[in-house]
């Protein structure tokens, strides 16, 4: 990964149950605001990369690339990238490859998902399209992550208090994020007494169903930058959990992180702040170890001892994460990078990391940003 | 576009109504055969680009990148690209960008679609997800292309005989293609007396609903090559036909072609053979003008005078095209390039062109291949 990739514009729409907005309206809002924020002429956008998981199923709308292109007077080439809930990270990678290839100088990445126009049951079924064929036997994502959580808690002699601690922290972080879906403090008791979804996971261990969009403008040209893309990486693993060597670590994440650190010339201790893929609270516990921030056997204790929030070793999910900011699946990976670029731009951190996962760890994409030169 | 991109392996499964094969089985067959054909070690495949339009709707299966990655022992990074029926061409472009960026040396592109597990009515509805919101008023793709055909025939004082001539030619070409869905000669009378679908289009003016997959292995490394990627381009246009300046030309195609010719340092007269996107017979008429092979006002006469088949000015759709080879939508763009690379490899042509369209001309991707050095 080269060092001349800059993020020069970002936007994040409000995340939530946005009954009054369509997928196209959300995309349009994010695209328009990111271009305005970048301070470039719309005609400077030479290509568009659209991240979306399942508009084909949620909205019977595909060909999103053409929908995005026609937002511009010059109809730039556009493409839609899908990698389940890692679609955002994957779209950023595709954009970076095109820039590094010298095909384009300035491009836009937009992630969007409109999930609330179908019932919660349909949503669960649509999201399960990112799992393997075992879903027909009930292995929806809450069920798969519950298996992981159960094994993790037993292996490390932890109770579900550690999971609840993550939910409480991320809700607290979201209080400062005006775009977050949930801006309400939760107590440990509220989380631990909430309804069971798939034991040991309770409703407050799960990220919500969300509508939302986010966009970033990337360039290789000299321009006032919010942050620089220092490195990125992508990893994969078997989709079926039974085919994995371990359930308490995601190999896709560690592979992606290793590449990203190497390309950035950094190590985990260099990172001050990270957005990690906490689709369920347990996923944050795995992530902070797989990304190298804590050894696996210490991740639980570090979480309980507030080492993952302001005043601790590293700030995990300053936006509130998927858990409290919301999880419009195709938008999430783009939102993570947009949110972090703004933190860096405001001088709140110099080196930050975004971690975006597809499925139950089948795909992972990691981005490292740093202060622009 | 650089000149050091080579196609070193190809595969095309049988196209047709393959009741006994799943999407994953088709993908696996194409991937395995392309890697074998390239003569590389599976571990040499550093990344995978999956082209598919609507497995989320046809099969409730997304996260196809993870499905593809796990076909390999080393789980290479993979991504799914969608651009409606131009998904194949768009996935090739994404792969080329990653290679030109120096991120990978050898990659695989696989396109696959499994369309026959749902009813024909559901298929029409799913395909219409690539159209704009006017589809709710009945503007399915046969209806949209019928509008184009009607205007085209009136404008150029042609009858539907010219459309039928294309169907007859492409069915005749498919006789030589062992992978083709239809290998049966048709007479002009059979086509012109077939059932009306959307006037003036009859059933034999339409490409079929197909299952199938195709794959190519691309490399920047020295290796015995089947063909070289000389240039490529992508164009877009408004999705809604009413927003276009003309209905008898697809601006997306001419934009994509212009880029591809420029990057290849070629002109239309250099091309000996082309696979064009004849989802409906009328689309071939537009394509041969938009690609510069004939002026628009001469495309009809050239077709009627057999200038687009063996012995004519250029051979259009030697595989039988979408019309007779079949149109598993996500596979088509990859199949076009795989088929042409084999023609070049066998010495049947030196300079060839593939033209892949999404929707009713919202997206177009053009690839130009030439004999390897």
pLDDT tens-digit profile of B15-51?
A: 999 999 999 999 999 999 999 999 999 999 999 999 9
**Is there a contact between A167 and A204 (Cβ–Cβ < 8 Å)?**
yes
A139 at the B interface (CB within 8 A)? no
Please name the residues in contact with A346: beta carbons below 8 A apart, sequence gap of 6 or more: none
How far is CA A286 from each of CA A189, A229, B56, rounded to the nearest angstrom? 23, 24, 28
Q: What pLDDT does B1 receive?
A: 45
The answer to whether B158 touches B300, Cβ cutoff 8 Å, is yes
DSSP run (H or E) holding A218: strand A212-219
Q: What's the pTM?
A: 0.98
Nearest Cα residue to A63 out of B82, B59, B51, B361: B82
CB proximity under 8 Å: A 252-311 to B: 252, 255
Of all residues in chain B, the percent with pLDDT exceeding 90 is: 92
pLDDT at A123: 92
pLDDT bracket for residue B2 (50, 70, 90): very low
Pairing mode, strands B273-275 and B227-236: unpaired
Listed by number, the residues of chain A in 24-63 with a beta carbon closer than 8 Å to a beta carbon of chain B are 53-54, 56-57, 60-63
- Residues of B identified as active-site: 85, 327
- A66, A252, A363 ranked by CB distance to B358: nearest: A66
pLDDT tens sequence across B107-138: 999 999 999 999 999 998 899 888 887 777 77
pLDDT at B84 over 50: yes
- For B15, which DSSP code? P
Residue A371 gets the label, from left (phi > 0), alpha (psi -120 to 50) or beta, of beta
**pLDDT tens digit at each of 373 positions of chain A:** 445 899 999 999 999 999 999 999 999 999 999 999 999 999 999 999 999 999 999 988 999 999 999 999 999 999 999 999 999 999 999 999 999 999 999 999 999 999 999 999 999 889 988 888 777 777 889 999 999 999 999 999 999 999 999 999 999 999 999 999 999 999 999 999 999 999 999 999 999 999 999 999 999 999 899 999 999 999 999 999 989 999 999 999 999 999 999 999 999 999 999 999 999 999 999 999 999 999 999 999 999 999 999 999 999 999 999 999 999 999 999 999 999 999 999 999 999 999 999 999 999 999 999 999 8
What is the rounded CA–CA span in Å between residue A84 and residue B42?
25
- Say which of B63, B67, B236 has its CB closest to residue A75: B236
Q: Quick one: B187 exposed, middle or buried, by C-beta within 10 A (0-12, 13-18, 19+)?
A: exposed
Q: What is the pLDDT of residues B196-227, one digit of tens each?
A: 999 999 999 999 999 999 999 999 999 899 99
Closest CB from B94, B238, B362 relative to A63: B362
The overall average pLDDT reported for chain B is 96
| Mutate which: B64, B65, B136, vs A, most A CBs within 10 A | B65
Set out the domains of chain B in order of their start, with CATH numbers: 6-118+209-219 (3.40.47.10)
CA distances to A81, A102, A218, A276 from A227, in Å: 23, 20, 10, 18
Give the residue among A33, A47, A41, A43 at the shortest CA–CA distance from A218.
Answer: A47
Q: Which of residues 227-246 of A touch B (CB under 8 A)?
A: 234-239, 243
| pLDDT at residue B178, rounded to an integer | 98
Task: Provide the pLDDT for residue A133.
Answer: 72
Q: Which residues of B323-347 are buried (b: 16+ CB within 10 A; e: fewer)?
A: bbbbbbbbbbbbbbbbbbbbbbbee
Interface of A with B in 351-370 (CB under 8 A): 358-359, 362-363
Q: Tell me which chain B residues have a C-beta less than 8 angstroms from the C-beta of A57.
A: 56-57, 60
Among candidate residues A244, A237, A83, the one with its CA nearest the CA of residue A148: A244
Query: For testing the chain A interface, which of B52, B54, B61, B79 should be mutated: the one with the most A CBs within 10 Å?
Result: B79
Chain A CB contacts of B125 below 8 Å: 60
Beta carbons of B100 and A102 less than 8 Å apart: yes
- Look at residue B185 and tell me whether its pLDDT is greater than 50: yes
Can you state the angle between helices B281-290 and B251-264, rounded to 10 degrees?
Answer: 50
Q: What is the C-alpha to C-alpha distance for residues B37 and B10, in angstroms, rounded to an integer?
A: 6
Pairing between strand A273-275 and A315-316? parallel
Query: In this complex, do B75 and A359 lie within 8 Å of one another by their Cβ atoms?
Result: no
Bond prior to B106 in cis (omega within 30° of 0): no
Asked if A220 is an interface residue toward chain B (Cβ–Cβ < 8 A), one would say no
Judged by a CB distance cut-off of 8 A, whether residue A142 touches chain B is no
Dihedral over Cα of B227, B229, B233, B234: its sign: positive
* Burial call A330-369: b when 16+ CB within 10 Å, e when fewer: bbbbbbbbbbbbbbbbeeebebbbbbbbbbbbbbbbbbbb
Are the Cβ atoms of A97 and B101 closer than 8 angstroms? yes
Say yes or no for a CB contact (<8 Å) between A70 and B236. yes
Q: Indicate the residue of B76, B97, B363 with minimum beta-carbon distance to A98.
A: B97
CB B34 within 8 A of CB B8: no
Q: What is the pLDDT of residue B138?
A: 79
Inter-chain CB proximity B60 and A57 less than 8 Å: yes
Calpha distance A319→A276 (Å, rounded): 10
Residue B3: pLDDT band (50, 70, 90) is: low
Write the DSSP assignment of B241-263 as a string of letters: GGGSS-SSS-HHHHHHHHHHHHH
Q: What 3-state class would DSSP assign to B350?
A: coil
């Amino acid at each position: 990964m080269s060092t001349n990739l800059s993020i020069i514009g970002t936007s994040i729409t409000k995340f939530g149950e946005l009954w009054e907005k369509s997928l196209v309206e959300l995309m349009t809002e994010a695209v328009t605001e990111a271009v305005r924020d970048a301070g470039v002429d719309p005609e400077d956008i030479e290509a568009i990369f659209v991240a979306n998981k399942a508009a084909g199923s949620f909205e019977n709308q595909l060909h999103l690339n053409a929908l995005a292109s026609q937002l511009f007077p010059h109809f730039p080439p556009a493409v839609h990238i899908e990698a389940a809930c890692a679609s955002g990270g994957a779209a950023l990678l595709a954009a970076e490859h095109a820039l590094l290839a010298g095909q384009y100088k300035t491009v836009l990445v937009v992630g969007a998902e409109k999930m609330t126009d179908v019932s919660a049951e349909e949503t669960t079924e649509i999201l399960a399209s990112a799992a393997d064929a075992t879903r027909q036997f009930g292995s929806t994502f809450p069920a798969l992550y519950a298996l992981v959580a159960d094994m993790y808690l037993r292996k490390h002699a932890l109770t579900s208090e550690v999971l609840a601690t993550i939910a409480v922290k991320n809700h607290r972080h979201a209080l400062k994020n005006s775009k977050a879906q949930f801006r309400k403090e939760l107590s440990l008791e509220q989380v631990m007494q909430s309804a069971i979804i798939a034991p040991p996971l309770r409703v407050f261990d799960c990220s919500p169903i969300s509508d939302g969009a986010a966009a970033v403008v990337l360039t290789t040209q000299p321009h006032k930058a919010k942050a620089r893309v220092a490195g990125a990486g992508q990893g994969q693993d078997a989709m079926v959990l039974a085919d994995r060597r371990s359930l308490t670590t995601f190999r896709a994440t560690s592979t992606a992180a290793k590449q990203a650190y190497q390309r950035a010339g950094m190590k985990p201790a260099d990172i001050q702040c990270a957005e990690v893929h906490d689709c369920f609270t347990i996923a944050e516990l795995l992530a902070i170890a797989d990304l190298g921030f804590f050894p696996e056997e210490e991740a639980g204790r570090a979480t309980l001892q507030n080492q993952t929030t302001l005043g601790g070793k590293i700030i995990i999910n300053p936006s509130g994460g998927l858990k409290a900011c919301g999880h419009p699946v195709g938008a999430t990976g783009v939102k993570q990078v947009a949110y972090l670029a703004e933190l860096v731009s405001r001088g709140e951190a110099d080196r930050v990391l975004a971690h975006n996962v597809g499925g139950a760890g089948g795909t992972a994409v990691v981005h490292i940003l740093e202060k622009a030169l």
